[in-house]
């Protein structure tokens, strides 16, 4: 088994490298560098071509810095784990080609990692005792997934978004409110000063099943913004109402899944899981039902530590990628299994 794994993450607009050191399934994070691309703030969202070029320019230095933080040279690395997908295909290609070049030149093991599986493994970087079975809510800019996880590497998809991901909804609403990009942190800060009773937005699909939809909620916010006679006055109240609606939907679905499975643990992952408000609400609603495991914000944003940890697991299972490894924007989640238990009837576990 590899004792030093170098992780590389370039799926969107963070260029990241990390080093895990250890053995026997208990690796420790020895180095982590995350370089965010601030250029996208000018455009209110990620520009794929600019993201790819920025990764290309920054990745060698980011990898060198992560190794330096770990106090290691390249010769100590046993394997390279890299995000294969999903994500922006041009950005992914930069990381995949760089990782393949490193691994081939140094005759090291190579493993491609699914980005969302990386988010699932993020809490394990800090909490090595975290173990299935558990329910996982993975919420990012591009994905909203609710998973039944009976074992590491085995996943049952309970529900996903039918349209917009929660993170994308935060970004779009932040743009409507003039808050810039990325939207989640800005909305969370502003919402602290908001009156929860001033506005009320719909909770799409909250009381049925496990799937999500946020496009209608975005439209409701758009109409409220246009109807506001004083947006400067209403901005914090709109932010609060929107955030309350999204988090209510997310946590209600999570609670429904915990009750249906009876699992003692719920895992939060993905960029939106950086929200302390989301973590606090989940802990409150699941009190007495399940403990909530969530990594610190730095490990919930796109980062290479989670990729290295998921790669470590795959390598320990004897998996390796060959030199045909390629970036895939639509990479399916590995290890998906049929859901063995029926979905709950509408309103069956709604608070």
For the domain that residue 43 is a member of, what is the CATH number?
3.30.420.40
pLDDT of residue 339: 83
Strand order in the sheet with 79-85: 28-36, 14-21, 4-9, 79-85, 109-114
Whether 103 and 322 have beta carbons less than 8 Å apart is answered as no
pLDDT of residue 341: 58
Q: How many domains does the chain have?
A: 2
- One domain, residues 267 and 305: no
Q: Is residue 154 part of a domain?
A: yes
- The percent of residues above 90 in pLDDT, for the chain, comes to 87
Contacts of 239 (CB under 8 A, 6+ apart): 173, 177, 179, 187, 190, 191, 194
Pick from 18-32, 35-49, 82-96, 167-181: least confident: 35-49
38 or 116, higher pLDDT: 116
Contacts of 205 (CB under 8 A, 6+ apart): 211, 212, 213, 249
142 or 280, higher pLDDT: 280
Q: Work out the pLDDT band at 344, boundaries 50, 70, 90.
A: low
Asked whether residue 82 carries a pLDDT value surpassing 90, the answer given is: yes
- One domain, residues 189 and 43: no
- One domain, residues 309 and 276: no
The average confidence (pLDDT) of the chain is 93
Q: Work out the pLDDT band at 343, boundaries 50, 70, 90.
A: low
Q: Is residue 351 part of a domain?
A: no
- One domain, residues 163 and 183: yes
- One domain, residues 148 and 269: yes
pLDDT of residue 346: 42
pLDDT of residue 245: 98
- One domain, residues 102 and 244: no
Q: Is residue 60 part of a domain?
A: yes
- One domain, residues 261 and 311: no
- One domain, residues 239 and 277: yes
- One domain, residues 159 and 113: no
Q: Is residue 283 part of a domain?
A: yes
pLDDT of residue 100: 98
Task: Over range 322-332, report the average pLDDT.
Answer: 96
Peptide bond into 52 cis (omega under 30): no
pLDDT of residue 348: 37
Strand order in the sheet with 336-337: 291-294, 265-269, 134-139, 144-151, 154-160, 336-337
- One domain, residues 59 and 118: yes
- One domain, residues 193 and 222: yes
Q: Is residue 349 part of a domain?
A: no
- One domain, residues 98 and 210: no
Q: Is residue 345 part of a domain?
A: no
Asked whether residue 220 carries a pLDDT value surpassing 60, the answer given is: yes
Q: Where in the sequence is the domain holding 29, given as residue range(s)?
A: 4-124+299-336
Task: Over range 73-94, report the average pLDDT.
Answer: 96
Q: Is residue 350 part of a domain?
A: no
Asked whether residue 334 carries a pLDDT value surpassing 80, the answer given is: yes
Q: Is residue 346 part of a domain?
A: no
pLDDT of residue 1: 55
């Amino acid at each position: 088994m590899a004792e030093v794994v170098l992780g590389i993450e370039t799926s969107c607009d963070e260029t990241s490298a990390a080093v895990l050191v250890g053995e026997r399934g208990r690796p420790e994070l020895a180095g982590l560098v995350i370089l965010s691309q601030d250029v996208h703030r000018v455009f209110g969202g990620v520009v794929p071509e600019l993201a790819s070029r920025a990764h290309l320019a920054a990745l060698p230095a980011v990898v060198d810095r992560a190794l330096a933080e770990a106090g290691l040279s390249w010769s100590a690395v046993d394997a390279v784990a890299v995000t294969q997908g999903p994500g922006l295909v041009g950005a992914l290609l930069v990381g995949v080609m760089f990782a393949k070049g490193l691994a081939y030149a140094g005759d090291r093991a190579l493993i491609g990692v699914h980005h969302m599986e990386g988010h699932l493994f993020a809490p394990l970087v800090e909490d090595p005792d975290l173990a299935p079975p558990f329910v996982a809510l993975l919420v990012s800019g591009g994905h909203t997934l609710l998973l039944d996880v009976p074992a590491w590497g085995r996943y049952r998809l309970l529900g996903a978004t039918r349209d917009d991901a929660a993170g994308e909804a935060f970004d779009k609403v932040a743009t409507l409110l003039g808050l810039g990009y990325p939207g989640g942190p800005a909305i969370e800060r502003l919402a602290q000063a908001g009156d929860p009773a001033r506005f009320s937005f719909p909770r799409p699909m909250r009381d049925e099943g496990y799937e999500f939809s946020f496009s209608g909620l975005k439209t409701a916010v758009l109409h409220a913004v246009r109807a506001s006679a004083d947006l400067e006055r209403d901005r914090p109240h709109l932010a609060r109402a929107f955030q309350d609606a999204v988090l209510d939907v997310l946590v209600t679905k999570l609670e429904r899944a915990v009750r249906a499975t009876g699992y003692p643990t719920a895992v939060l992952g993905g960029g939106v899981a950086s929200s302390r408000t989301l973590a606090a609400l989940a802990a409150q609603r699941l009190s007495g039902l399940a403990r909530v495991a969530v990594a610190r914000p730095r490990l919930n944003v796109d980062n290479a530590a989670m990729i290295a940890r998921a790669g470590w697991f795959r390598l320990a299972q004897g998996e390796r990628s060959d030199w045909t490894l390629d970036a895939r924007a639509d990479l399916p989640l590995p290890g998906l299994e049929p859901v063995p238990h029926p979905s709950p009837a509408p309103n069956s576990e709604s608070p």
